[in-house]
Amino acid sequence: DAKTTQPPSMDCAEGRAANLPCNHSTISGNEYVYWYRQIHSQGPQYIIHGLKNNETNEMASLIITEDRKSSTLILPHATLRDTAVYYCIVRLSPYSTGTASKLTFGTGTRLQVTL
Amino acid sequence: DAGVTQSPTHLIKTRGQQVTLRCSPKSGHDTVSWYQQALGQGPQFIFQYYEEEERQRGNFPDRFSGHQFPNYSSELNVNALLLGDSALYLCASSLEGRGNYEQYFGPGTRLTVT
């Protein structure tokens, strides 16, 4: 799995957009970008994933650069409940079997949302 | 629809002892993965079970073993506990037989080795 690099921490004011960057310069053509978050004392929670097109769901948007070497997770209107550690993970297709399904976590970005 | 459940929530053991942690996957899921999360670190993959067999293993010693039952629930066993085994142990389930490979995590078991 390709290695990812994320800033260790970020702050965001409540109600503003939180933009969390991730570098994955060694990503392969068949690898997806996944985002999970972990709220204190809970298990990680899936947020979104994408291959090369921008993706949006009810939780967030994922913007992947054209060369796929970096991406940004956007929380459009951050709330205090979005305070968590956010993990950017690169892995093979979600439709692969066996060894492709493990997740390799880094240390993530600790997002602090403040009033 | 119950999510992933784990038991116990907290556990304190002494060095050298053995421990068993339990996980019930999300309803309908057939694959269980176990992760170890040390304080301040991201989760590290231990192993994965599918169809009652260990399918993939991370960089963990043989002291870590597991089992998956016919109802897809799973156990993680750790023998000869070391102080360094103190961590949050996370179980994640997924449904790999039908093309949905998102992993859903339980709340974890906090193991403290003294």
d(CA B100, CA B103) in angstroms, rounded, equals: 9
Q: Which residues of A touch B55 (CB under 8 A)?
A: 98-99
**Chain A residues touching B42 at Cβ < 8 A:** 85, 87, 105-108
Non-local (6+) Cβ contacts of B35 within 8 A are A103, A105, B43, B44, B45, B46, B89, B90, B91, B92, B105
Give yes or no for residue B72 having a pLDDT over 90.
yes
Q: Is the pLDDT of residue B2 over 90?
A: no
Could you read off the pLDDT of A86-104 as tens digits, one per residue? Answer: 999 998 776 666 666 788 9
pLDDT tens digits along B31-71 = 999 999 999 899 999 999 999 999 889 999 999 999 999 99
E strand intervals along chain B: 5-7, 10-13, 19-24, 31-37, 44-50, 53-57, 64-68, 74-78, 87-95, 100-105, 109-113
Structure tokens at B47: 């192993």
Distance separating alpha carbons of residues A108 and B39, to the nearest angstrom: 13
Dig out the tokens for B98 from the structure: 């039908």
Q: How confident is the model at residue B13 (pLDDT cuts 50, 70, 90)?
A: very high
Rounded-to-integer distance, Cα A50 and Cα B1, Å: 27
Residues of B in contact with A107 (CB under 8 A): 40-42
Which of A20-24, B51-55, B94-98 comes out lowest in average pLDDT? B94-98
What confidence category does residue B4 fall into, taking pLDDT thresholds of 50, 70 and 90?
very high
Measured between CA atoms, the residue of chain B closest to residue A42 is B107
Which of A5, A92, A103 to substitute to test the interface with B, most B CBs within 10 Å? Answer: A103
How confident is residue B103, by pLDDT bands cut at 50, 70 and 90? confident
